[in-house]
Structure 1
Amino acid sequence: MTSAVPTSRHRFQTFDDPSRRKGPERIAALRAAMREARVDGFVVPRADEHQSEYVPANAERLAWLTGFTGSAGTAIVLADVAALFVDGRYTLQAPEQVDTGVITPVPLAEKTAEAWLGETLKEGAVLGYDPWLHTPDGVARLERAATKAGATLRAVDGNLVDAVWAGRPRPPAGLVVVQPDALAGEAASAKLARIREALTETGCEVLVISDPHNLAWAFNLRGGDVAHTPLALGYALVPREGRASLFLASPEIAPEARAALEPIADIVPRAALAEALAGLGTGRTRLDAATGAAALKGLVEAAGGVADVGPDPVTAMKAVKNAAEIAGTCAAHRRDGLALTRFLAWLDARAASGGIGEIEAVEALEDLRAAGGELRDVSFPTISGSGPNGAIVHYRVTHATDRRARRGELFLIDSGAQYRDGTTDVTRTVSVGEPTAEMRDRFTRVLKGHVAISRAVFPKGTTGAQIDAFARLALWEAGLDFDHGTGHGVGSFLSVHEGPQRIAKTGTVVLQPGMILSNEPGYYKAGAYGIRTENLVLVQEAEIAGGERPMLGFETLTLAPYDRRLIEPGLLSAAEMAWIDAYHARVRETLAGDLEPETASWLERATAPLAPAA
């Protein structure tokens, strides 16, 4: 197969090397700023003022300071010691990116930041933090840790990293645009009416929307302030009665967006937020527990008001997709499936002719998605890991780490796209040459868990935690497991990681029809290879003949073949094999007619039945 890959003029992903080599001098500069501010330590979370996963360049404080580029983590710098706390996705990545001579990576599974502070802070020490980068609950946890050590916690006026960050990027100012009602499926005025009804139930007089994803959904707007997620940064005040107020960071608002927003809200500069909060008076104000900064709570209380910290009702509304959003997501996945199939065919041919470079693969897939003319962005930096790099769960290839997959290795590629009508996220693991028996065994056990989630039916009221074990059972039977959740929620032309729904040991939210989640079990052998298989699934009602209770199940949205060379049929049940064959048949029937003959022939072979014909 020799199909050429088009070359785009614009790359959505860069491959810059992390600034590990500058870690010592930057941490030294921060310590100097700490001395000037009269604090003995400073907390640097991977967060912006909205607690977002993807943040603008001027909020990448953790990456600038340490070299660590993961999407979650916290550094704590004391006068004589520093630590970086990361979850199970980053236990291999963190030591590779930071200078371990000046900062020690600590897996959260071994010790939390609060436990470390309780043991490490000296009595009488002062720990500083930026109140815009922590929630009230986060501050309370830091307070308890400091108290345990006999130390004190102090909010710092101005971020100390910003004070020493020479050349810090300017704040973003992307264009604010409207998401058409035809794609949103509901007018913003109707959404605001629903929000006000929910607000009444809380007993609060006003809601502060601090999550830019919720802001985008509630007002049917999108923006360009953050890479990979179409967000307009800012806040909104939605009173129980009266007009809403939008506090947008960017002054660039498209005329059609302004025309849609002005009838339902006052558009106010972001700088006026503090004054508006002070003007709320003594009423009860709902702040989002997940994204509302401690600084917001302080502003409300300073004005004599009551800060009611709890869930933003928009989060739950946004999680349940309406018919228009579901239709758009299905269209996006079909479009994405064509690009993925072309890519996998290209990848197969490229591997046979001399191997695959990690950056080369990222660029090829992005170009194929862009060739369709609908791509707005990748939904996250593509994880393209060959051999041992595939074992780094959220590996991010750079020019320094780029390697070619050799024969006998596995290649893991986890990617996604942002289209105006939907967001995608898909992972495939492919064999370069002949896989080992162990690779086939591990891949098939991961696939069994993936199929178990795909086929699951469960009563209404079930949470993600209750079905997470389905994805792990085949691995557990071999004494294996993986250290991340099985699935996360996904937005509609919004965040690729959307809450509150998830399939994980910590997934306590009840799954509802209309929710979209990922289904992505994995296995990772450090220093050797990684395996992950991921589709997106839609929660829907399930009819069971003779059933006594209302049931739910999943519809698989992603359209891309699994690598049959890695499947060990002897490990599969007849039902599992039938599901895989039926899925492959659907992929083939949906996509083949729009593919070039050579690629369609490749897809025919890639989706051939595993089970012998009856």
Structure 2
Amino acid sequence: MSLQRLTALRALMASQPTKLAAYIVPTADAHHSEYIAPVDARREWISGFTGSAGTAVVTASHALVWTDGRYYTQFEKEADLTLWTLMKQSLPDTLSVEAWLSTNLTEGDVVGVDPHTMTREEWTPLQTTLTRSKMKLLPVPNNLVDEARVQLSDPPPTRPSNQIIALPIKYTGKTAGEKIKELRKKIAEKKAFALVVTALDEVAYILNLRGSDIDYNPVFFSYLVITPATTVLFWSSGSLPDAVTEQLKEEGVKIDARPYSNIVPYLQELAKHEAAGGGRSVWLSSEASEAIHRAASGCEVVDQPLTLVSEVSPVALMKLVKNQVELEGFRNCHVRDGVAVVRFLRWLHEQVDSNQTITEIQAADKLLEFRKDEADFMGPSFETIAGAGANGAIIHYSPSRGGPQVVINQRDMFLLDSGGQYKDGTTDITRTRMMNRSPSSEQRDAFTRVLKGQIAIGSALFPVGVKGNVLDSLARKALWDVGLDYAHGTGHGVGHYLNVHEGPTGISWRPYPHDPGMKPGQILSNEPGFYKVNEYGIRHEDLVEIVAITKDSDHPRAKNLIGDYDGRGVLGFNTLTMVPHQRECVDVTMLDDLELSYLNEYHNRVLSVLRPILKDRGLRQDLEWLQRECQPIARE
């Protein structure tokens, strides 16, 4: 099928009004979403590679996919390697997409891409590089992969337009009207006449609405345009449910709802109207698509295109710092999520210890059952990663329901990365368990080094405003000391009953380009790991809240403070996740006194918080298991 699909795409490239020497297929929808709906899974369809990140480039003689180290093993298992070449973008010697194109194409060649699938940030450097090489980047309005699918009688599915719900203020802590008022003030300060919001989680956040158009992400396909006098939502056919309209009205928002497909002509008409008047600028995120940038400027409909303010979205910065209601929701939902995960781990060990046949899929399904018992649970926050043995070394592995099922055996190191969407917050947790509780010395060493890295982040102090990449090496040091590493970032932002991965802040060896610096009230993950390909994987992940620290704070390093970074202020992390680590996998001789105290105090806190809940609910076996897991670890 891969050859048939490539052949169809190449024929379309050759038959365009301007023949295309190359066609780029990003993993993207029109909203720069990290996870995409099946209708937008074009790179997956053309290449067979199902990983959540990567860019395909097809020429008459080459087919390549650029992806990062999380997916190398997965690509080699899924793609037809006689047709497709893996470009390992994490390696310093790998050419970038633009460098490869400028090197392998010839002068005068034209490269095509659907402008809805590429951001202005991505478009501009690519265009610059190709122009310098006397090549051209051409926006192709009709997606050629979609056309190839139709030709092969495998058309893309219909774009989802599922029910949307209003999230009450008891969960959000701020009305939609208050948020829009703040944004209008910022629009005036920018001397712009409109703010165009294209990211789906930003639209959902502003309006206090949630949906289900993309699996695991409570968002809905939409655009929002805010002017000093109007709030225009482009969604589905343009007809909102009465309950949604009523809540928006109660929260001080008069919404003008229009069909989703009308966004480009609306922006073009807006540009024509403004060009004939004051010619003021339009404000939008630099991560908005090239198609939206072109429509907002009116470049195809006016003689003098409008000026665009294209930069980090003010909505992204607004929702990055959670309000007190959202923070309390995060704390509470992690307690309930901890109960569910503890119950699952107890059940899993019991089943495996008694030689029951439990597959990875069955484990994921059972965990979902436990989460469904918890209040305000709305569904998983991503597809559960349940990797036994070698599968744990595939960083973004998820078990498949088709084909042979992998059984979790006593000899397996089992990596479980999962999360829940709750009305009051979002969770994301990874725990690694040696099912027979007897890891090898190598596994115990790796487990402990990863844990030391997580503790280094969890116990760190740092100045207000420091960027996340500054902290990344703390998590890696214990691994780096012996020549080990992991091919992913250490932490990502997390949305409030929104996307489990949220920018613009994160902790990674690569700087986040729009990271504004850390402030109290942000939620991040803390997740170092180690992966021995074809054998096992280890990852420890907690969610943490950034908090202000003084000498009197309950923090392992607070008492040693002698300054506050010359008045900048001191920050640290408060761990939200409530699930113990496996004691048998910890080499206590590798922990210093602070690390050992940190781990024991964490386990004591987990037990003290969860014990009364398990007791009140009559979950005696789960409580007994938790008490064993949280026993203090002592030096011999």
The answer to whether 1:247 aligns with 2:247 is: no
Give the corresponding residue for 2:583: 564
> Is contact 1:387-1:530 (8 Å) kept?
yes
Q: Which residue of 2 aligns with 1:62?
A: 43
The equivalent residue for 2:441 is: 437
The superposition leaves residues 500-529 of structure 1 with CA deviations (integer Å, 9 ceiling, x where unpaired) of 111112144311100000000001111111
Counterparts of residues 473-552 of structure 1 (less than 5 Å): 473-505=477-509, 506-507=511-512, 508-544=515-551, 547-549=562-564, 550-552=569-571
SS at match of 1:404: coil
2:14 aligned residue: 35
Amino acid at match of 1:295: A
Kindly provide the amino acid, as one letter, of the partner of residue 360 in structure 2.
E
Q: Which amino acid aligns with 2:120?
A: P
Correspondence 1:174 to 2:162: yes
Q: 2: CA distance between counterparts of 1:81 and 1:145?
A: 20
| Helix, strand or coil at the partner of 1:279 | helix
Does 1:259 find its partner at 2:262?
no
Q: Which amino acid aligns with 1:298?
A: R
**1:419 — aligned with what?**
422
Alpha-carbon shift at residue 251 of structure 1 (Å): 4.6
Where does structure 1 lack aligned partners over 5 or more consecutive residues? 1-21
Question: In structure 1, what residue type is equivalent to 2:581?
Answer: Y
Query: How far off its partner does 1:201 sit?
Result: 2.8
Shift of 1:261: 2.8
* Contact 2:239/2:257 (<8 A) preserved: no
Which residue matches 1:279? 269
Aligned partner (choices 579, 587, 596) of residue 577 of structure 1 = 596
Match of 2:193 among 199, 205, 220: 205
What's the offset of the Cα at 1:248?
1.3
1:10 maps to which residue?
none
CA distance in 2, matches of 1:186, 1:481: 42
Which of 291, 296, 300 does residue 300 from structure 1 map onto?
Answer: 296
Q: Secondary structure at the match of 1:42?
A: strand
Q: Residue 117 of structure 2: SS of its match in structure 1?
A: coil
Question: Among residues 357, 360, 365, which one is paired with 2:359 in the alignment?
Answer: 357
Question: Following the alignment from structure 1 to structure 2, what is the Cα–Cα distance between the partners of residues 265 and 338?
Answer: 40
Give the match for residue 390 of structure 1: 392
SS of 2:159's partner is coil
Between the two proteins, what is the percent identity of the paired residues? Answer: 37
1:78-477 paired onto structure 2 within 5 Å: 78-110=59-91, 111=94, 112-165=96-149, 166-239=154-227, 241-249=228-236, 251=238, 253-261=240-248, 263-280=253-270, 281-282=274-275, 283-290=280-287, 292-301=288-297, 302=299, 303=302, 304-354=305-355, 356-372=358-374, 374-398=376-400, 399-400=402-403, 402-433=405-436, 434-477=438-481
Q: Which amino acid aligns with 1:523?
A: F
Deviations 1:142-174 (A, max 9, x none): 223433554322111200011122231101111
Aligned partners of 1:63 and 1:422: how far apart in 2? 30
Counterparts of 1:242 and 1:295, CA distance in 2 = 25
Which position in structure 1 is the counterpart of 2:555? none
* Structure 1 stretch displaced more, 486-495 or 259-268: 259-268
Q: Which amino acid aligns with 2:623?
A: A
What is the distance in 1 between the residues matched to 2:635 and 2:533? 36
**Residue 25 of structure 2 is aligned to residue 44 of structure 1:** yes
In the TM superposition, residue 461 of structure 1 has moved relative to its aligned partner by 2.0
Q: What secondary structure, in the 3-state scheme, does the structure 1 residue paired with 2:226 have?
A: strand
Residue 120 of structure 1 contacts residue 149 of structure 1 at CA under 8 Å; is this kept in 2?
A: no
Query: In 2, are the aligned partners of 1:246 and 1:267 still within 8 Å (CA)?
Result: yes
The unaligned stretches of length 5 or more in structure 2 are 552-558
Check whether the contact 2:235–2:257 (CA below 8 A) recurs between aligned residues.
yes
Please report how far the alpha carbon of residue 356 of structure 1 lies from its aligned counterpart in structure 2 after TM superposition: 4.1
Write the deviation string for residues 526-568 of structure 1: whole angstroms up to 9, x where unpaired: 1111110000000011112563312111110000011111100
For 1:377-425, what per-residue CA distance to the aligned partner results, in whole angstroms no more than 9, with x for missing partners?
2111111111111111111221346422333331101001111111100
Contact 1:117–1:149, Cα closer than 8 Å, also in 2: no
Kept in 1, the 8 Å contact 2:237–2:258? The answer is no
> What's the TM-score, normalizing by structure 2?
0.90
Say whether the 8 Å CA contact 2:238–2:258 is kept in structure 1.
no
Which segment drifts farther, 301-310 or 73-82? 301-310
1:11 maps to: none
**Aligned partners of 1:367 and 1:69: how far apart in 2?**
26
Bigger shift: residues 541-550 or 23-32 = 541-550
In structure 1, the partner of 2:622 is: 599
138-147 vs 413-422, which deviates more? 138-147
Residue 252 of structure 1: CA displacement? 6.1
Task: Please name the residue that 2:573 is paired with.
Answer: 554
Supply the distance in 1 between the matched residues of 2:28 and 2:239 (Cα, whole angstroms). 24
User: Matched residues in 2 for 1:118 and 1:350: separation?
Assistant: 56
Contact 1:177 1:253 in 2 (8 A): no
Which secondary structure does the structure 2 equivalent of 1:499 belong to?
Answer: strand
Q: Secondary structure at the match of 1:397?
A: coil
- Tell whether the 8 Å contact from 1:537 to 1:554 is kept in structure 2 after alignment: yes
Cα displacement string for residues 444-498 of structure 1 (whole angstroms, at most 9, x for unaligned residues): 0000010111111112122111111111111111111111110000000000000
CA contact (8 A) 1:381 1:415 kept: yes
Cα pair 1:454 1:554 within 8 Å, conserved: yes
What CA distance in whole angstroms lies between the structure 1 residues aligned with 2:172 and 2:187?
22
Once the two structures are superposed, residues 324-362 of structure 1 have per-residue CA deviations (whole angstroms, 9 ceiling, x without a partner) of 101111121111111100111112112223364211211
Match of 1:412, SS state, is: strand
1:256 Cα deviation (Å)?
Answer: 1.6
Structure 1 residue aligned with 2:554:
none
CA shift for structure 1 position 237: 1.0
2:3 corresponds to 1:24: yes
Q: CA RMSD in A?
A: 1.7
Q: Give me the TM-score of the superposition, normalised by structure 1.
A: 0.93
Question: 1:362–1:384: 8 Å Cα contact kept in structure 2?
Answer: yes
Q: Which 10-residue stretch deviates more, 77-86 or 355-364?
A: 355-364
Deviation at 1:289, TM superposition (A): 0.7
